[in-house]
Chains A and B, each alone.
Chain A
Amino acid sequence: MGKTNILVLADHPEILATILRLINKNELWNGVGAASATDALSVFQENVFDLVLLGVGVDDQTELVLRSSFTSTNPDMICIRHFGGGSGLLYSEIQHALAGRHNQ
């Protein structure tokens, strides 16, 4: 079974690095970071992701644009908001999203 590929978008470099470090501690997950919406769209075109985490710095309008673009390319991909900044919520957010239960 392959790894779960997770794209993380956050405009705070240290927080993005923390989130990626925590994700990549899990041997079943592969985290890739993007520091801007433009970067995220570019990375998304070149890779297949199972999950996208929209983190700090993503406003509501950008979220709408990204969700629309992501789902038109890959309708099966899950896109959620990440809260807390790589803290105690990250693991359960990902688990819940992958379980298809996320209701945010």
Chain B
Amino acid sequence: MEQTILHKADTRHSADHGWLQSAQTFSFHGHYDPERLQFGALRVLNDDTVNGGKGFGEHPHDNMEIISIPLEGTLEHQDSMGNLALIRPGEIQVMSAGTGIYHTEYNKDADEPVSFLQIWLYPNQLNVTPRYDQQDFSKKDKHNKWLQILSPDAGDEGVWIYQNAWFHLGDFDKGFEGEYHLKNKDNGIYIFVIEGDLQIGEQVLGKRDGFGIMNAETFVFSVLNEAKLLVMEVPQKW
């Protein structure tokens, strides 16, 4: 039977570190809420804004699939594998932390903030060789359609990760009615509203709301106000 879970934007944990404002859907850093640990393999969904000239100093990760989706501004990434890259809206960054990686993420603009979604998934393989990739989707069409940005398959569209997950982005007009069919019917689906308003069944969702659906093979949605949506299809068990 279909099950759903609603995470309204204003129920996310709000962390203000001065240089960083972070709205966290799931327990993170010093905040622990046993009711907000994960949605299947989706463990972290942080909506971060970093002040001009500030950033995350060098820190390690291991055994985690880490995806960054810039929304505004430019983020500079540097890591222990020798990668130095700028990431802008329209691009997606992915790291498989595997056996261990160090990295920094900085807003190189001294004046303007950078905002981005930081998303972590548990991997389906441990201790893999670390890897980094980023892809530019800015010229891909996602108007009133889903654009696949992530999959488990290196040969498929978008970046890939060590998990049976698929991510899609879409920009939808007011009044548009659409649907999403799961790639794997055993997965759950987590819809995150980047901008706008939509309705799924009886549930109305607004900006930065999250809505998880389990035990369903598809969902149908109606766009109430022009919307930018991120859909994350993730295993519930792995």
Contacts and interface: CB of A to CB of B under 8 A. Distances in A.
B140 interface: no
A98 to B, nearest CB: 10
B44 A85 contact: no
A95 interface: yes
Nearest to A19: B60
Q: How large is the interface on B (under 10, 10 to 19, 20 to 34, 35 or more residues)?
A: 20 to 34
Interface string A82-93: 011111110110
B29 A57 contact: no
Contacts of B122: 83
A87 B61 contact: yes
B191 interface: no
Given A14-B102, A57-B127, A92 B28 contact: yes
B99 interface: yes
A18 interface: yes
A97 to B, nearest CB: 11
Interface SS of chain B: helix, strand, loop or mixed? Answer: loop
A99 B37 CA distance: 13
A55 interface: yes
A15 B32 contact: no
B172 interface: no
Interface residues of A: mostly helix, strand, loop or mixed?
A: loop
B163 to A, nearest CB: 12
Contacts of A57: 99, 127
A70 to B, nearest CB: 19
B27 interface: yes
Given A56-B62, A96-B34, A84 B120 contact: yes
Contacts of B99: 12, 56-57
Contacts of B148: none
Given A92-B37, A96-B37, A15 B60 contact: yes
A59 B126 contact: yes
Nearest to B28: A88
Contacts of B97: 84-85
A27 interface: no
Contact of B63 (A60, A84, A91): A84
A91 B120 contact: no
Interface of A: 10, 12, 14-15, 18, 55-60, 83-89, 91-92, 95-96, 99, 101
Question: Which 3 A-B residue pairs are closest in the complex by CB-CB distance?
Answer: A85-B62, A56-B62, A92-B27
5 contacts: A59-B127, A83-B64, A85-B61, A85-B100, A91-B30
